Amino acid sequence: MKINEIKWGAILSYVVIGLNMIVGITYLPFVTGMLGQSEYGLYSLVSSIISYLTVLDLGFSSAIIIYTAKYIAQKDKEKQKTLHGMFFIIYTVIGAIAGVIGIILLLNIDNIFGSSLTIAELEKAKMLMSILTFNLIITFPLSIFNSIISAYEKFVFIKVINIVRIILTPLIMIPLLFLGYKSIALVIVLTIVNIICLLFNMLYCYKKLDVKFIFKKFDKPLFKEIFIFSFFIFLNLIIDRINWSMDQFIIGISLGTVSVAIYAVASQFNQFYLMFSTAISGVLLPKISKMEENKATDKEYTDIFIQTGRIQYIIMALIMTGFILFGSPFIIKLFGFEYHESFTLACILMLSVTIPLIQNVGISILQVKNLHKFRSLVFLGIAVLNIILSVVLVNIYGVIGAAIGTATALILGQGIILNIYYYKKININIPEFWRQILEMTIPVLMSLLIGIIIVNLIPLNKWSFIPQIILYIIVYVLLMWNLGMNEYERNGCKNLLARRKLSDKCNK
C-alpha cells in the first residue's frame, strides 16, 4: 500500500505541476493584465519579503517527517504523541514571533522603499503585508499536520489537497478581478484558501491517522537532538530565501516595481521547473529515512541517487530544451512584449539549477545521515556571493545582472563543490552518475538540433507553435526511448501503461 502511495504520490505530483502550469499560462497572465505591471510588481515584492519569514520554520518540518517516520518504523506511539505535542507548541510560538517581525517590517516600509515606491504604492504595500503576515501566523501551527501526513506516506491526500488549492484560488479570484478588486483581494483569497486546506489536513490527521498529542510532557533531550539536527536545515531555508527572493528585493530598491514584475515572471517559470524535479524526490524522504534506519549500504544509496537522477534528467532536459526553443514567443504571447526580457532571465535561472535538481535526492540522504552541515555552509557561501554579485551586476547590467549573479553562485556551490562532497564524504559514485548523464545528453542534443530545424522550417506564428511543441515532444520521446533510457526505465513505462489499460478495462 505504501509503495502505491509513493508511486501515486509521484504521479499526482505531476498532475499538480500540470495544473500549476495551466494556471500559470492562463490565470497568471490574466492577473498581471488586470493588476497592471506596477501593481503586480508590488504584490510580488511584498510576497518575496514576507516569504523570508518562512525560514522561522527552522528546518523543523523535515525533522518532524524524519523522526515521525522513525517512530512509525519502531511502532512507538508515545514518542509520536510527545513529538507532535511539543512541536505544535513550538510552531504556535514561532507563528507569534512571525507576527511581531511582520509588524516591525510593516512599520518600516517607508524607510525601506520610500525612494522607489510612490505614496499610493507604499500604502497598498502596508495592507498587503498585514494580510500576508496574518496568513503566516495561522500557517505555522497548522503546518505540522502536513509533515505528519508526509511521514505516514499518505501522499495521495496531500496532492489532492494541493489540487483543490490550485483550482479553488482562480475560481474565486477571477470574478473578483472582473469586479475591479486588485492585489488586496488576491492575498485575502490566498489566505482563506490556505487556511481551509490546513484545516482539512488537521481533520485528516485526527480522523484517519488517529494522531494524538501530548502537551504536558516537553522532552528536552529530544528537542535538543532535533534542534541540532534541524539547525543546518534552517540555514538552508534562509539561504534558499536569499537566493530566490533577494534578487527581487535588490531590484525593487534599485530599479522599481516594473523591473520586479519582469523578474517575477521569469522566477515563476523557474518555480515550475523546480516543481518538476521535486515531484519524485519529494516523496522519498520517509523511504530514505527507513533505509538509514535499516543500515543501507553505499551502493544502495548510489543506486537510488543515480536511478532518481536519471528519471529527473529525462524530464528536466525535455522542459529545458523545450523552453529554449519555444519560451520566448510563449512569454510574449501570454504577458506582452514588455515582458520579453523575462525569457532570458528564466533561461539563466533554469540552467543554473539543472544540476542540483537532478541530484536533489542527495539532500534527503544528507539529512537522514545527519551530514547536512557541510551543505548548509556551502549554501551560506553561495548566498553571500549571490548578494555581492547581484548588487554589483544589477547596477551594471540591470535586471539581467541580478540573474547572472544568482546563477554564478549556484553553479559554483551546488554544481561543483557539492558533487565533490557527495563523492568524497557520502561515497556516492559521482563519476558513474555523470557518465550516465552524459550518455543521456546525446539524444537530448540531437532533439534540440532537430527542434531548431523544426522552428526554422515551420515559423512560429501566434498559437501555431503548439503543433511544433507536440512534434518536438514526439521527437524527444523517440530519441530518449531508443538512445537514452535503460531497460529498467523502459520497463517502468511499460508497466505503468499496462496498469492504466487494466484499470480502464475494470472501469468498463
- Residue 244, pLDDT > 80, answer no
d(CA 206, CA 158) in angstroms, rounded, equals 15
Averaged pLDDT for residues 212-221: 78
* Mean residue pLDDT across the chain: 82
Per-residue model confidence as pLDDT tens digits over 276-324? 766 555 556 667 777 777 777 888 888 889 988 898 899 899 999 999 9
d(CA 444, CA 450) in angstroms, rounded, equals 10
d(CA 29, CA 331) in angstroms, rounded, equals 9
Tell me, yes or no, whether 183 lies in a domain.
Answer: yes
CA angle 353–354–357, rounded 5-degree value: 85
Tell me, yes or no, whether 504 lies in a domain.
Answer: no
Tell me, yes or no, whether 269 lies in a domain.
Answer: no
d(CA 70, CA 370) in angstroms, rounded, equals 14
Residue with C-alpha cell 548588487?
391
Tell me, yes or no, whether 236 lies in a domain.
Answer: no
How many structural domains is the chain composed of? Answer: 1
d(CA 380, CA 67) in angstroms, rounded, equals 26
Give me 181's grid cell.
Answer: 478588486
Per-residue model confidence as pLDDT tens digits over 423-457? 988 889 999 999 999 999 999 999 999 999 988 88
Neighbours of 473 (CB within 10 A): 14
Tell me, yes or no, whether 341 lies in a domain.
Answer: no
d(CA 327, CA 262) in angstroms, rounded, equals 14
d(CA 413, CA 207) in angstroms, rounded, equals 44
Contact 347, 322 (CB under 8 A): no
Contact 349, 270 (CB under 8 A): yes
Residues 6+ apart with CB under 8 A from 62: 230, 233, 285, 367
Helix locations, 36-76, DSSP H: 37-51, 60-74
* Stronger pLDDT, 347 or 220, i.e. the higher one: 347
d(CA 398, CA 402) in angstroms, rounded, equals 7
Question: What is the pTM assigned to this prediction?
Answer: 0.64
Contact 236, 59 (CB under 8 A): yes
Closest CA to 387 of 242, 263, 238, 241: 242
Closest CA to 46 of 57, 60, 35: 35
Residue 172 structural domain: 1-218
Q: Which pLDDT value is given to residue 472?
A: 93
Averaged pLDDT for residues 160-175: 87
Q: Specify burial of residue 421 (Cβ count, 10 A radius: 0-12, 13-18, 19+).
A: middle
d(CA 490, CA 191) in angstroms, rounded, equals 43
Nearest 10 degrees: Cα torsion 324, 326, 330, 333: 120
Contact 372, 234 (CB under 8 A): no
| Identity at 17, one-letter amino acid code | I
- Residue 58, pLDDT > 80, answer no
d(CA 351, CA 354) in angstroms, rounded, equals 5
| DSSP class of 153 | T
Q: Which pLDDT value is given to residue 231?
A: 74
Tell me, yes or no, whether 28 lies in a domain.
Answer: yes
Give me 139's grid cell.
Answer: 500557517
Residues 6+ apart with CB under 8 A from 328: 340, 343
Distances (CA, A) of 319 to 447, 456, 468: 12, 20, 14
d(CA 270, CA 334) in angstroms, rounded, equals 16
Contact 231, 59 (CB under 8 A): yes
Band of pLDDT at residue 498, cut at 50, 70 and 90: low
- Residue 254, pLDDT > 50, answer yes
Closest CA to 65 of 172, 170, 147: 147
Total residue count of the chain as it appears in this document: 508
Tell me, yes or no, whether 458 lies in a domain.
Answer: no
Residue with C-alpha cell 540531437?
446
Span of 17-26, 150-159, 191-200 with lowest mean pLDDT = 17-26
Per-residue model confidence as pLDDT tens digits over 107-159? 888 887 776 677 888 888 888 889 989 988 998 889 889 888 888 878 788 88
Nearest 10 degrees: Cα torsion 414, 415, 418, 420: -170
- Residue 10, pLDDT > 60, answer yes
Instruction: Count the alpha carbons within 13 Å of 52 in the hemisphere toward its beta carbon.
Output: 17
Tell me, yes or no, whether 399 lies in a domain.
Answer: no
d(CA 173, CA 169) in angstroms, rounded, equals 6
Burial state string for 383-414 with b = 16 or more CB within 10 A and e = fewer than 16: bebbbebbbebbeeeebbbbbbbbbbbbbebb
Span of 8-12, 214-218, 370-374 with lowest mean pLDDT = 8-12
Neighbours of 337 (CB within 10 A): 9
Band of pLDDT at residue 2, cut at 50, 70 and 90: very low
Q: Which pLDDT value is given to residue 433?
A: 94
Span of 2-11, 74-83, 108-117, 184-193 with lowest mean pLDDT = 2-11
Residue with C-alpha cell 533577494?
246
Contact 439, 484 (CB under 8 A): yes
Q: Which pLDDT value is given to residue 278?
A: 66
* Stronger pLDDT, 186 or 238, i.e. the higher one: 186
Residue with C-alpha cell 475560481?
171
- Cα dihedral sign, 108-404-364-368: negative
